[in-house]
Amino acid sequence: MAATDTPMKPDGFHPRITAFVCNWCTYTGADLAGTSRLQMASNVRIIRLPCTGRIDHMFIVKAFERGADGVIVSGCHPADCHYTAGNYHARRRFGVFRELMDFMGIDPQRVTFSWVSASEGAKWKDVVNETVARVAELGPFDAYHELAGDTVTGGEPAPGPFEAASGAETPDPLEELEVGR
């Protein structure tokens, strides 16, 4: 992959970002960004869902539990929802959840909410790059990952049961893909 101008900390921290996106707008927009060959940070793993209305706050919590340093939630602009009102409901829920996270000490800067339509490939690129830059600045979310004292993150996935048994080293998937370089 060609080099991009992904901001990165000198210590080589590659943030892991999970994006929960709506099938009808943002996913198509991200697809457009790809087919338009827009260069953007490759730290984002996209999970496609039918609608932002399907995105539960538990998705964000689970992403953090499983090693995400940041989360993007994105869907159709108001009035554009494929199911008429899913994004309006999501807007209410996440308006509250964002405040709740903030109150509990989870920096809301780690979670980006955005509207990206199917034609906004360029906007998706900006959302991705800005989120990656912001989360890279904040550093790894070890505070959450290490809550139970058993999770290894930050580019070193915890060995699965089979890797551990065979003693084989797990290649760093981020290394392999030259993520964020």
User: In the bound complex, what is the minimum distance in angstroms from residue 151's beta carbon to other proteins?
Assistant: 8
User: In the bound complex, what is the minimum distance in angstroms from residue 171's beta carbon to other proteins?
Assistant: 27
> Residue 2 half-sphere exposure, CB side, CA atoms within 13 Å?
6
Nearer to other proteins, 89 or 181 (CB): 89
Nearer to other proteins, 85 or 168 (CB): 85
Nearer to other proteins, 42 or 112 (CB): 112
CA torsion angle 161 163 169 174 (round to 10): -70
Left if phi > 0, otherwise alpha if psi is -120 to 50, otherwise beta: which for 84?
A: left
User: In the bound complex, what is the minimum distance in angstroms from residue 56's beta carbon to other proteins?
Assistant: 8
Structure tokens at 43: 């730290």
> Residues interacting with other proteins, by CB under 8 A?
57-58, 61-62, 65, 78-79, 85, 88-89, 91-108, 112-115, 127, 130, 143-144, 147-149, 151
Nearer to other proteins, 139 or 181 (CB): 139
Left if phi > 0, otherwise alpha if psi is -120 to 50, otherwise beta: which for 180?
A: left
Are the C-beta atoms of 15 and 43 separated by less than 8 Å?
yes
